Amino acid sequence: MSRNSVLSSTLEQCPYNVFLSFQKCLDNSDNWKLFVKSLTILGKELSSLEIDQLDIESRKIGGSPAKYIWFKLQSWLTTTQELITVLRHCQLLDPLLVLVGPEPLEIITHPGSDEEDRFVDHGAKVILTCEAKGLPLPSYQWFHNNQALPKENGTQLCLDNINCDDTGAYYCQVSHTHPDSTEYKLFSHYVNLTVKPPIPRITSQPNELHALHSGRSLMLRIYCVPPPEEVQINWYHNGQLLTGEHSSVLFLENISSQQEGHYLCELSNESGSVFSKDMNVIVVPPPSTLRSHDADDAGDRRASCKMALLIANYTYDNMQNLKTPCK
């Protein structure tokens, strides 16, 4: 008998070992309930009374709800192909394997194109999908840089709040084992993820105003995340780039009026850039210079009187003897 004729034949023509496998599977762990619910894909269903009777039968010692279901399927003239459809839908593999035998493993959805390079933002969410078909049903194991990821055994790999440690190659291993204990494995395409670093963030910076005497020194320091060695740093004076100043610390030594003005620090990487607040540096003459100028201006002038400032109320409710002095 050809395969097509077997599939179109009714269950009365099925080999006895198919029924035995069907019975053993459905009578185990209430699988019969799952099968009954899946009959709707054939447009069939059992009545509430029949389901109650099956439930009672399943509680009896040696009871077999599968036997009643089998005879019911025969009364509906159910074909072998229809039985296979329902068994696939509810994933009852043992009778399915008896009917169709092992089916080759095949990956039908890969995580990406072969050796795909994918760039993602720091903190983003990445979902990789791998789906396969075959009998027995495939099992899945995800890998990162050739290391198996614990508990990642589904068709999807979800990477939440991704960071630079998640950079690397990802792929999925798909496998199944035939009844003769032969194991078959397939590997999905690789996806190479590159996680871009976060845009730099300034965590601390100098005050916005610095006034100091000429000849003194000033240090302007920026603290940031990521650390300074992982970002590009530029300093600006009055809008002009300071050549060779790429450290997180800017030293202004023996300061003069030429160094007076506004300073900015720019932090950047491949993800973006950020500027510090404006830092205004004011240079004043040294104290000795100020004193000599004051002395020259003062000359031989002498004080001719003393003055005082008095602030008071005009009148007082409780102390009548106190009042604001009059001219």
DSSP letter (8 states) at residue 79: B
Instruction: Please report which confidence band the pLDDT of residue 51 belongs to, taking 50, 70 and 90 as the band edges.
Output: very high
Helix (H) / strand (E) element for 325: namely none
- Asked if the model's pLDDT at residue 294 lies above 60, the reply is no
> pLDDT tens-digit profile of 217-260?
999 999 999 899 999 999 999 999 999 999 999 999 999 989 99
pLDDT value, residue 300:
54
Contact yes or no for 171/185 (Cβ under 8 A): no
Those residues whose C-beta lies under 8 Å from the C-beta of residue 28, and which sit 6 or more positions away, are: none
Region of 53 please: left (phi>0), alpha (psi -120 to 50) or beta. Answer: alpha
Domains contained in the chain, CATH given: 3-100 (1.10.533.10), 104-196 (2.60.40.10), 201-287 (2.60.40.10)
pLDDT value, residue 91:
86
- Asked if the model's pLDDT at residue 26 lies above 60, the reply is yes
Mean pLDDT of the chain: 88
pLDDT value, residue 82:
94
What pTM did the predictor assign? 0.64
- Concatenating the DSSP letter of every residue in 224-271 gives EES-GGGSEEEEEETTEE-TT--SSEEEE-S--GGG-EEEEEEEEETT
> pLDDT tens-digit profile of 88-100?
998 898 899 888 8
Instruction: Supply φ then ψ for residue 246, to 5 degrees.
Output: -125, 15
> Rounded to an integer, what distance in angstroms lies between the CA atom of residue 195 and that of residue 256?
45
- Asked if the model's pLDDT at residue 320 lies above 90, the reply is no
pLDDT value, residue 141:
98
Residue type, 322: L
> pLDDT tens-digit profile of 297-312?
555 556 565 665 666 6
CB atoms within 10 A of CB 164: 13
Task: Give the pairing type, strands 183-187 and 168-177.
Answer: antiparallel
pLDDT value, residue 12:
85
> pLDDT tens-digit profile of 83-134?
999 999 988 988 998 888 888 999 999 999 888 999 999 899 999 999 999 9
